Amino acid sequence: MKNIYVIGAGLAGSEAAFQIAEAGLPVTLYEMKPQKYSPAHHSPYFAELVCSNSLRSNLLENAVGVLKQELRYQKSLIMASADMHHVPAGGALAVDRDGFANTITETLKNHPLITVKNEEIKNLNKFNLQEDYVLIATGPLTSEDLFQALKSFLDEEDLYFFDAVAPIIESESIDSNITFRASRYDKGEGEYINCPFSKEEYEQFYEELVHAETVPINEVDDLKLFQGCMPIEEIARQGKETLLFGPLKPVGLIDPRTGKQPYAVVQLRQDNHAASLFNLVGFQTRLKWNEQKRVFHLIPGLENAVFERYGVMHRNTYINSPNHLNLGYQHKVYEHLYFAGQITGVEGYVESVGSGLVAAKTLINHIKQEKQQNYTEQLYLNPETMLGGLAHYVISADSNHFQPMNANFGLVPELKSSERNLLKQKFKIEEKGRRGRRLVYSYRALSHYPEWMSENNYKFENQINEIEPR
């Protein structure tokens, strides 16, 4: 039996190790915590969520909602834990960080086919890439030694950019006389705390934000910022009204005290089951800590906010996957070497989980075929599914302009009119507006899963008819 190693017990690595073990294959999982922590990690648990506690939309009209459902049908450990430890978040799936991570940690540590080793892997010399199977899932916070080793092994020009995380505050320090609870468009039951700005308050906040002092970047590194995780101050510098169409957009929110839509809104999302902690949605930042305290206290309702954790800036590592990977996250030259998670160029928690699952199943399939066993499940690579769409993107994107990518309907093949009409007829879809059109793609993706066809064929039928054009 050849050895199987998974490096990194983040979201992707944890999912990959679980899938491999569930397939009946013994696997060794390397995780450097708690012996060593990255700048953004604080918990000894596996699958630590270092930014938001939200796994984003749970609705089928959203691509990441479809991806979640696909993962559930693929018996994802991460999704099972997320569903177990969800906290109120409207149409999104947010989790209690500690409960979520603890369940995953205990499941992996107690699995009879998983051996956990708390050890930092500094290079690939420890493994025989001709014989051993190695899956690297060290994520956006790959340690410096391994980062340097990967630069030599892959391509020095393709390996990093910078990312930032949002601060967390104590709920008791939020002024409820100023804030109000509501979910956008009244979805959910008012799970978000909303901090409403007048025009004058927003303009003062904006000026202080764009002129606040930031943490300097190491002179030897270039500042490469992925658009989807831009620090709030960088977004603001793009224009005075940019925030009003981004993290501070007021659309779909009405202040019950005025009966009107505020000029701008900062939303706070519950971060744990006890609802004692809330994070500032979209407020990734690299402001210095004293500047965060000064500027963010200008947000209405947060004048006396107590910060449990300030936002931090960190390096975010990913490779130029089109140059290095085959379909299924397998290395082009070393067929026993796999990558998974954000290091491959998928962006987001759920996308990382998906890549870990697909990489693991591709690895399993390769081992089974080497043993001449009949194991040819390829559903996870179907380009019409979200799992498959992401896997195809990371190998087919333009390598000269490769950027991390979230799940979206643009990753799957476009529907022809005949296909669209067939789906609408088959699933009785009344297509209305953009959200209705997206559901056609969602139904096509999920129709590849026998579980959905047998159990949920008509479950979402009424949801279609409620959708109005926007």
Q: What pLDDT, in 10s, does the model give residues 128-159?
A: 999 999 999 998 778 889 988 988 888 766 67
The number of angstroms, rounded, from the C-alpha of 17 to the middle of its chain's C-alpha atoms is 18
CB atoms closer than 10 angstroms to residue 304 = 10
**Residue 70: which pLDDT band, with cuts at 50, 70 and 90?**
very high
Contact between residue 164 and residue 314 where contact means Cβ atoms under 8 Å apart: yes
Question: What pLDDT score was predicted for residue 458?
Answer: 44
When mean pLDDT is compared across 37-46, 109-118, 133-142, 289-298, the lowest value belongs to 37-46
The mean of the pLDDT values for the chain is: 87
Angle, helix 97-109 to helix 11-22, in steps of 10 degrees: 40
Structural domains in the chain?
Answer: 4-159+318-411 (3.50.50.60), 168-315 (2.40.30), 417-465 (no CATH)
Q: At residue 457, does pLDDT exceed 70? A: no
Percent of the chain with pLDDT strictly greater than 70: 88
Question: What pLDDT score was predicted for residue 375?
Answer: 54
**Residue 431: which pLDDT band, with cuts at 50, 70 and 90?**
low
Higher pLDDT, 53 or 113: 113
Tell me the C-alpha distance between 307 and 289, whole Å.
10
| pLDDT tens-digit map of 217-258 | 653 344 555 555 678 999 999 999 999 999 999 999 999 999
Question: What average pLDDT score do residues 427-431 get?
Answer: 69
Tell me the C-alpha distance between 417 and 352, whole Å.
32
Question: What pLDDT score was predicted for residue 42?
Answer: 74
How far is the CA of 140 from the CAs of 12, 136, 153, 162, in angstroms? 11, 12, 17, 9
Tell me the C-alpha distance between 283 and 231, whole Å.
7
Q: At residue 418, does pLDDT exceed 90? A: no
Question: What pLDDT score was predicted for residue 227?
Answer: 52
Residue type at position 122: K
Unique residue bearing structure tokens 């030259």: 333
Question: What average pLDDT score do residues 386-405 get?
Answer: 88
Measured in degrees and rounded to the nearest 5, phi and psi for residue 316 equal: -120, 115
Higher pLDDT, 15 or 92: 15
Angle, helix 289-296 to helix 199-210, in steps of 10 degrees: 170
Query: Please, which residues bridge with residue 175 across strands?
Result: none
Question: What pLDDT score was predicted for residue 229?
Answer: 64
| pLDDT tens-digit map of 199-211 | 999 999 999 999 9
| Residue-by-residue DSSP string for 433-469 | HHHHHHHHHHHHHHTTSHHHHHHSTTTTHHHHHT---
**Residue 262: which pLDDT band, with cuts at 50, 70 and 90?**
very high
Question: What average pLDDT score do residues 266-291 get?
Answer: 89
**Residue 468: which pLDDT band, with cuts at 50, 70 and 90?**
very low
Question: What pLDDT score was predicted for residue 467?
Answer: 28
Cβ neighbours of residue 313 under 8 Å, at least 6 residues apart?
A: 162, 163, 164, 214, 215, 217, 231, 285, 286
Tell me the C-alpha distance between 416 and 431, whole Å.
15
Contact between residue 406 and residue 64 where contact means Cβ atoms under 8 Å apart: yes
Q: At residue 276, does pLDDT exceed 50? A: yes
Cβ neighbours of residue 197 under 8 Å, at least 6 residues apart?
A: 205, 248, 262, 263, 264, 265, 266, 299, 300
Does the CA dihedral 139-142-146-150 come out positive or negative? Answer: positive
Q: At residue 12, does pLDDT exceed 80? A: yes
**Residue 463: which pLDDT band, with cuts at 50, 70 and 90?**
very low
Instruction: For strands 277-280 and 264-270, give the pairing.
Output: antiparallel
233-236: long-range pairs with CB below 8 Å, 24+? 233/209, 233/285, 233/286, 233/287, 236/206, 236/209, 236/210
What the block records as the tokens of 435 is 């959200």
Percent of the chain with pLDDT strictly greater than 90: 59
Ramachandran assignment for 180, one of left (phi > 0), alpha (psi -120 to 50 degrees), beta (any other): beta
Nearest to 298 by CA among 309, 287, 229: 287
| pLDDT tens-digit map of 13-63 | 999 999 999 999 999 999 999 888 776 677 889 999 987 889 999 998 899
Cβ neighbours of residue 435 under 8 Å, at least 6 residues apart?
A: 61, 467, 470
